[in-house]
């Protein structure tokens, strides 16, 4: 399976194996992979989210020929620039719609990753594993490994079947999940888990319970974090759409006057 992963993910999983002694892949049985595939519904809404706005935009463009009084130069200008501007607005609106619907899938995917992390931490307790004190953010590292091993490949595989939108979904998912990982690391720093788990003077079972409660609390915050991440992904597309719409409006005003 690792041969299908990008080098960055392979390096991360090797690092986790070397530093913590966990082979993330052993948790990827058929049931787990089946659940991931069932959660991802990108293909069910990607086509309608993108192509419906494009069709509407094209319909408005054609309608313009009947309502605007244009000379032959106006028809040429409108036919070239108008088509580009209308379709650009439709496409940008479709991307915004698509990324908005993406939030629900990402929330399910992230919570699944946190559940997998809790299971792995529980497994550490059963084998009485001790972590070195120089390993920062071990919980976040395990979560990041679960994303790299199971979630990111599943997203990429499903997105590869979607023309054009696949790259948008993959990029948006990567950025949003990256924000979740960053937030998890910040919260984990406040809890100082790497010191607590590595400290052999206290029972690991107690520490694992504390980690599990921490992950459960963090899971309830995922929705807000994902919303923030998706808004960040949408921002350049939103600016581009408003800018294109303004240019289109100005173009329509000018061509109708002159």
Spatial neighbors of 182 by CB under 8 A, at least 6 apart, are: none
Supply the pLDDT for residue 200: 44
Given a cut of 80, whether residue 82 has pLDDT beyond it is yes
CA 204 to chain centre: 33
Supply the pLDDT for residue 232: 85
Write out pLDDT tens, residues 234-248: 899 999 999 999 999
Supply the pLDDT for residue 86: 95
Please count the helices (runs of H) and the strands (runs of E) in the chain. Answer: 10, 0
Across the range 108-134, mean pLDDT stands at 72
List the chain domain ranges.
45-257
Burial tier of 123 (Cβ tally within 10 Å: 0-12, 13-18, 19+): middle
Mean pLDDT (the chain, rounded):
79
Supply the pLDDT for residue 15: 80
């Amino acid at each position: 399976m690792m041969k299908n992963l990008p080098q960055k993910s392979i390096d991360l999983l090797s690092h986790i194996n070397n530093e913590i002694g966990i082979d993330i892949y052993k948790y990827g049985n058929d049931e787990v992979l089946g659940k991931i595939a069932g959660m991802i519904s990108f293909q069910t809404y990607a086509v309608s989210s993108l192509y419906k706005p494009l069709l509407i935009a094209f319909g408005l463009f054609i309608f313009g020929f009947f309502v605007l009084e244009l000379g032959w130069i106006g028809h040429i200008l409108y036919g070239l620039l108008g088509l580009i501007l209308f379709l650009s607005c439709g496409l940008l609106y479709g991307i915004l719609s698509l990324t908005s619907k993406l939030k629900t899938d990402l929330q399910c995917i992230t919570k699944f990753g946190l559940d997998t992390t809790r299971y792995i931490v529980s497994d550490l307790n059963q084998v009485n594993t001790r972590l070195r004190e120089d390993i920062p953010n071990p919980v976040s590292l395990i979560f990041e490994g679960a994303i790299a091993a199971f979630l990111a490949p599943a997203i990429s595989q499903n997105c590869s079947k979607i023309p054009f939108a696949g790259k948008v979904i993959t990029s948006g998912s990567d950025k949003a999940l990256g924000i979740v990982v960053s937030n998890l690391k910040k919260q984990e720093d406040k809890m100082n888990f790497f010191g607590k788990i590595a400290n052999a003077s206290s029972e690991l079972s107690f520490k694992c319970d504390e980690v599990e409660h921490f992950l459960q609390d963090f899971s309830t915050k995922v929705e807000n974090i994902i919303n923030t991440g998706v808004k960040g992904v949408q921002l350049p597309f939103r600016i581009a759409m408003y800018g294109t719409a303004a240019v289109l409006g100005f173009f329509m005003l000018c061509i109708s006057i002159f």
